[in-house]
Structure 1
Amino acid sequence: MSRNILPASLAASCTSFTRPSSSGPSPAAAQWQPVKVKKLTGSACEYCRKRRRKCNGEQPCPLCVDNNQECIYEVTKTETQGQAVKRKHAQMQQDHDELKSLFAILATGSNQKTLEIHNRIRSGQSPGLILQQLKHGDILIQSRLNSERHVRHVLLSSLMQTNASFDDLVDFIGLTVARDPSAQVPTAALLRQLRGQQTDLKGLRSLLGYAQPASTQRRIAISDLLSDQGGPASESGSSRSESLEMENSKRSSEPPYRLPAKPWTTLTDDDDLVTHLVSLYMEWVNPFFRPLEEDLFVAAMQAGDLTSEYCSPFLVNSILAYACLYSEREGAFFQPDDYLTRGQQFHDEAFRLWQLEEGRATLTNLQALAIMYPGCILRGKDKLGVSTCAVITQLCRDVPKTLPTSSPSRIPTSEDMLDYQRARKVASWAAFACDMATANTILQPASNTKCKDDLPTAAELMISPSRVWTGYPHHNKDDLLDTSALWVAHCRLTQLSWKAQRLLYASDRSDPLFPVRVEALTEEMNGWKRALPACLHFQGRLPAPVYDLHSCYAAVIIALYSLFQPIGATQSSPTSESSPIQEIHSPETTLQETIRQGKEANTRALFARVMRDRAIATAQEMAVKMGNFRHHYGLKIIPPYFVQANGVVCFTLLQDLSNPASAAAFKEAFRCLLGAGMQFLWARGMARMLHLTAQNTGIQLPKAIETMLEAVADTAWKKSDTEMLSSCWPNYAIAKDAKVGESVMMEDLIKKWERVALNEEEGRGKR
């Protein structure tokens, strides 16, 4: 092959960078131009290399563009194929070393550290980034745990969860933590020893090295202001039996059974943790809420049978997510010492598993969603809870009513069929209860337009209806709990709740017969209360799940009483020498009796006043039960409806604080709400909205409450809580006065009022 070669002199002139003359190039230069050399690439892209086509090394190359292919290079433009191989080998070695180091940490690290690593892996972080963060993260976390501000937060949270009364708590904080600059502050490590234990002020004083106070004159308890309460007051007396009870409650009880972590969850292989969490749920939640039958679920979980009709990974992870809200073990925390994030890892895993189910209508899916529903609400995500409830309602209609056969070779026996029908019926009533809870909470009609009428009977439930309630893990009790009687009473109350919400939110209130219908339903609900078995009547101390039954009743009946007129329309005038309770009609007083006794000509106005008085009286009565629960059990574990009742009672009494009985009851309910707010964002949002409502409506809260809110300001509410909240819970104090289009939801009101307060503060700063 021949090619043109220039003379040496001409070649030199052609390669020099001299400006060409104006007369143009010489004829020789024009004839002999240097040949353009093709640009070579170190390596072809994957698409060109596999097809043995020429590649120009561009990104993307023309061939990939023409064929709509992703243009991928194994090597960079500045390296050869050999250099690319070396680079890839070095990268693989680094990845191997990082994975090996991460595996070593997972094998030898604490449960908390391994859980943190797992959470970061699931969030998509690379092993190298996780190792880099862990290298510095331990120091940062330890520094945060030992910081004075964090220790103060942990101490105040522990204080709010004790069984101490509001006044004792205010005194303790005022004389020690808040005002005494020389007060000893324990280390975070010391305070974390309080986890898993029921604390009281005596124990905290010993921990802090404070002297025990001398006995002082006994304060007036709530029961001194209220009459006809069927049991001892929440703070009355210090009998020998109460002392023995408090000593017993300090000894942790053992879980009722052992359960395996595998094959039910991939997030932990700690059988002790899984046993602890499931036992928590079975003791404190399932007896009242009862989405699943304990005997069938436990047997299936212990067997590890993934084909069982009574247990599934989705169901187990939903239980673990909920139970973490009540646990203080390290494995329950998603972020160290952050109570609001407890169980988030299991919560996310449960929803991931639900997506994989693709909406299959099975018994375990229905049960799992019914458990996820209250968990979403307590986490301050009740918008998610409401949408979940809609799915529950639809799924309940599609779940098979007879036992599906898992294999042709296994024919179910008559006993198997009865077990499935029992579990199916209980789960369907739990789904119905979720719908009623949503309707009564957000003040809207329920999805079910027909009332469920297949009321369960004791004969259909467990053969042995009574079980021992131990109060695991904080108490050593041997209380007998009639679970069948409790569940039947709950289902009957749920039927009445359906009638109440249809009357409140799906009927014409201008109808002249509307007060008559309200009065008839009121009498029906009072009849339900009077007909309760003796074991479910309020007394000195009840098994904790029974308090949820009374809380549910109070929330529904107060809504029924206060529907006709806003509670805060007029304030009660202060009483002189007579007891405040004498001004309030008993909840059992019929409208006809009141009309005969009253002098008002306007029956409708009298009806509104009677209903308002009944709502206040019921709220005061429920506050006594709240104080009783707080006194016996503390506020580390709080049943879900108990939190709802706390909010309803507080908003009911908010504008009746001039009445001493209402003020005392409000203090107790708000005390319990603050304690719940240390653990649940939903309760924390309620307390914050109450405080902002009082500020924006000119209501003066009791001085003790203002003092407490000032002392725990950074602990009771943070700016970040506003962004975390996703709530449609309404402000009951202003819901009926709201204008068309005006939002009365917790999330919207808190953001609006805090934004207004911030603007006012900035305006004062500019002056």
Structure 2
Amino acid sequence: MAESKPFPAPPGGSGTNEAQQKRKNVGTACSACKTRKLKCSGISPCTNCIKDNVECTFDASADKRRRGALKRKVNQLEEKEELLIQLVSTLRESGTRRTIQLLNLIRSNASPSEIQLYIDTQLKSELEQTPELIEVCNEIQRFEPMGSRSWRRILDAQRAFVEPLFRVPAAPWTTVTADDEFVSHLISLWFTWVHPFYYWIDRELFLRDMQSGSLDSKFCSPFLVNAILADACAYSDSLESDAQGARFYNEAKRLLDKEEGRITLATAQGLGVLWICASMTRKDRHGWIHQSQLAYAVQDLFPSITPPKDVDGEALDLVRAANVTIWGLSNIAMKASLIKPPRKIRLPPITHDPDTDLWVPYPTESEKLQAHTLCTFRALCSLNEIAYDITYPHFHGEVSSSETEKTDELQRRLREWQSELPPCLKKRDAIEVPHNGQSDHRLFHMMPKSHQEACLSSARSISQLMRLHRSAWGVERMPQGTSQPINIALLVLLERLDVPENRDAFINLSIAAKAASRRWSSSKAALDRVRTRAIIHGLHLPTETDSLFADFGKRPENEPSDEFPFPMADTIEISDGEGSDM
């Protein structure tokens, strides 16, 4: 007997409902279903989460359906337009004092949400007390300003995707991410904003080996790569940059432990990066450990720069790279008199290669500029030899009358150093690339001072250098090495704000310090220290800086001090050896 088949369900019956239910598409799944790759009902809480008794969360931004996406886009644009209207009205109608405060906050690269918060908390009550201003705001809101559309187009163009300067793979160098694009972006950031200022890695050799993907490379290692990626995250605009940096940092520490004390060129270079990263993020205990490790790593590295005769090929590359590494790490260690300058090692020769030695302010699209990297590096090395002679007695408690009498000789050496700078570093009215001003920062910071006015003059000069930097590249990104001169200059200027030129310099440096405080916790603590010192000594900060210090509260009593961002350690004197001609 033939098997009977069920009749189709009548119209409107349960069969139709089931078919319609099956055809219904869900715009997005909840986080739990995505993780477990389950079909989600699309309603919060979803069926699976109710069944498994887990939290059910939906990411509305992940819903790519046209209507929902358009609605969110409209809401975002309306919020931006509202902020722009409020900003324009505030600038137009506020008094000069409030306008300058708001402009200085904007100049410090404040985010739209930070600007909105300042207007709401600091300016809104003042505006609402003036009926005329309320009427002006109402009039502005009755029409749609065409200027805001143009402004948005300009901002969108500036945020357009820019190709990374250097293409490198994520694997096998890091397990934190498999995203080649993201790793290439961070590497490009680091070699733009850190490497020219802290020059102890041969960029071309590092990139060559990283692109090869070979773990047997001499100039690249997983430890070095993760240390660089951790440090570079501070320059990323990602909302998760802090968390990403922490993950790379922890991975670098894990890989360093696996080295078990074995020192290679890449290990020494990575320790330098890790020390800087720990110092800028106020990981003080880690900084002390990395500092000591760095000192002994450089000592172990020193024999690498005395090659046998007739060396060539990769062995010659290793000698040259080790030479640069020892000098570069000695330069940063000068801040704590950690490593004695390797006086018998010859400095790399100055070359002006217009085709390879180029700099561009990535990720901003701009013309390529000649970097003068080796010019700056040699100048810093020569300056730090003098700095070592200045600071060593103070760090080791050996200052005597005879040392004090050497002040004139040290000042003569500093003036001689400045007069012998190459032409590309002598321009005082312009800076071709940011790191060209680095040697001036350090000169002003280390000149022996016999009078307060000399200190104030140096602080004003640092302010002028930062003004040039801001006019050329803004303050959205700046070298890590500029933060310490800025902070010290602010403390110097704080004592004489009654002088107009000191006041102007203080305002300008406060803008730069505020921008740096958004990227590094050490810079934020240093800026807070300026405010705290002003309160303790009864000094009044310029009203133009109110917006820059508005979000600082009272420092907790148990919060660590940031008087010196690089921890102290004993000096390691490197055996001079025979020297090298490389």
TM over 0.5: yes
Structure 1 residue 433: Cα displacement: 1.9
2:463 maps to 1:623: yes
Question: Cα–Cα, structure 1 residues 166 and 552, in superposed 2: closer, same or farther, change >3 Å?
Answer: farther
2:103 maps to 1:168: yes
1:430 corresponds to: 328
Alignment size in residue pairs: 465
CA distance in 2, matches of 1:690, 1:664: 16
2:452 maps to 1:612: yes
Structure 2 letter corresponding to 1:451? P
Structure 1 residue 255: Cα displacement: 2.4
Q: Which of these residues, 541, 544, 558, is aligned with residue 701 of structure 1?
A: 541
CA distance in 2, matches of 1:549, 1:327: 26
Q: Which of these residues, 496, 503, 506, is aligned with residue 666 of structure 1?
A: 506
Structure 1 letter corresponding to 2:338? S
Q: Which of these residues, 357, 361, 366, is aligned with residue 268 of structure 2?
A: 366
CA distance in 2, matches of 1:461, 1:331: 40
Q: Which of these residues, 556, 563, 571, is aligned with residue 729 of structure 1?
A: 563
CA distance in 1, matches of 2:32, 2:55: 14
Question: Partner of 1:394: helix, strand, or coil?
Answer: helix
Q: Is the 8 A contact 1:638 1:676 kept in 2?
A: yes
Q: How does 1:39-50 map to 2 (within 5 A)?
A: none
1:655-697 C-alpha deviation (Å, 9 max, x unpaired) = 1111211111111111211111122111110111111111111
Structure 1 residue 556: Cα displacement: 2.3
Q: Which of these residues, 251, 258, 267, is aligned with residue 176 of structure 2?
A: 267
Q: Is the 8 A contact 1:379 1:680 kept in 2?
A: yes
CA distance in 1, matches of 2:53, 2:374: 55
1:350-393 C-alpha deviation (Å, 9 max, x unpaired) = 11111111121111110111111111121122453243122101
Structure 1 letter corresponding to 2:292? A
Question: Cα–Cα, structure 1 residues 299 and 101, in superposed 2: closer, same or farther, change >3 Å?
Answer: same
Q: Which of these residues, 357, 364, 368, is aligned with residue 467 of structure 1?
A: 357
2:59 maps to 1:102: no
CA distance in 1, matches of 2:503, 2:553: 23
2:577 maps to 1:688: no
2:494 maps to 1:654: yes
Question: Cα–Cα, structure 1 residues 403 and 617, in superposed 2: closer, same or farther, change >3 Å?
Answer: closer
Structure 1 letter corresponding to 2:498? S
1:381 corresponds to: 283
Structure 1 letter corresponding to 2:253? F
Structure 2 letter corresponding to 1:360? R
Question: Cα–Cα, structure 1 residues 531 and 451, in superposed 2: closer, same or farther, change >3 Å?
Answer: same
Question: Cα–Cα, structure 1 residues 486 and 380, in superposed 2: closer, same or farther, change >3 Å?
Answer: same
Q: How does 1:105-504 map to 2 (within 5 A)?
A: 135-136=56-57, 168-169=103-104, 176=119, 178-180=122-124, 253-329=162-238, 332-334=241-243, 343-399=245-301, 401-402=303-304, 414-437=312-335, 439=336, 446-448=337-339, 450-459=340-349, 467-504=357-394
Structure 1 residue 708: Cα displacement: 4.1
Structure 1 residue 729: Cα displacement: 2.6
Structure 1 residue 536: Cα displacement: 1.8
Q: Is the 8 A contact 2:514 2:548 kept in 1?
A: no
Q: Is the 8 A contact 1:324 1:332 kept in 2?
A: yes
CA distance in 1, matches of 2:62, 2:490: 37
CA distance in 2, matches of 1:526, 1:249: 42
Question: Cα–Cα, structure 1 residues 329 and 134, in superposed 2: closer, same or farther, change >3 Å?
Answer: farther
Structure 1 residue 523: Cα displacement: 2.3
Q: Is the 8 A contact 2:487 2:513 kept in 1?
A: yes
1:536 corresponds to: 425
Question: Cα–Cα, structure 1 residues 485 and 211, in superposed 2: closer, same or farther, change >3 Å?
Answer: same
CA distance in 2, matches of 1:403, 1:504: 30
TM-score (norm 2): 0.70
2:406 corresponds to: 517
CA distance in 1, matches of 2:105, 2:238: 28
Question: Cα–Cα, structure 1 residues 707 and 516, in superposed 2: closer, same or farther, change >3 Å?
Answer: same
Question: Partner of 1:393: helix, strand, or coil?
Answer: helix
CA distance in 2, matches of 1:320, 1:517: 44
CA distance in 2, matches of 1:462, 1:532: 15
Question: Cα–Cα, structure 1 residues 182 and 648, in superposed 2: closer, same or farther, change >3 Å?
Answer: closer
1:426-463 C-alpha deviation (Å, 9 max, x unpaired) = 111222123212x2xxxxxx233x43213543439898
Q: Is the 8 A contact 1:361 1:395 kept in 2?
A: yes
Q: Is the 8 A contact 2:327 2:341 kept in 1?
A: no
Question: Cα–Cα, structure 1 residues 527 and 330, in superposed 2: closer, same or farther, change >3 Å?
Answer: same
Question: Partner of 1:399: helix, strand, or coil?
Answer: helix
CA distance in 1, matches of 2:259, 2:495: 48
2:8 corresponds to: none
Question: Cα–Cα, structure 1 residues 176 and 458, in superposed 2: closer, same or farther, change >3 Å?
Answer: same
Q: How does 1:718-757 map to 2 (within 5 A)?
A: 726-730=560-564
1:118 corresponds to: none
Structure 1 letter corresponding to 2:273? I
Q: Is the 8 A contact 2:169 2:211 kept in 1?
A: yes
* RMSD, aligned α-carbons: 4.3
Question: Cα–Cα, structure 1 residues 674 and 718, in superposed 2: closer, same or farther, change >3 Å?
Answer: farther
Q: Is the 8 A contact 1:383 1:728 kept in 2?
A: no
CA distance in 2, matches of 1:552, 1:103: 55
Q: Is the 8 A contact 2:511 2:548 kept in 1?
A: no
Q: Is the 8 A contact 1:379 1:681 kept in 2?
A: yes
Q: Is the 8 A contact 1:555 1:645 kept in 2?
A: yes
Q: Is the 8 A contact 2:456 2:493 kept in 1?
A: yes
Question: Partner of 1:353: helix, strand, or coil?
Answer: helix
Give unmatched runs, 5+ long, in structure 2: 1-30, 39-48, 64-71, 88-98, 108-114, 128-139, 149-154, 566-582
1:81-118 C-alpha deviation (Å, 9 max, x unpaired) = xxxxxxxxxxxxxxxxx99963649xxxxxxxxxxxxx
Question: Cα–Cα, structure 1 residues 663 and 364, in superposed 2: closer, same or farther, change >3 Å?
Answer: same
CA distance in 2, matches of 1:718, 1:312: 43
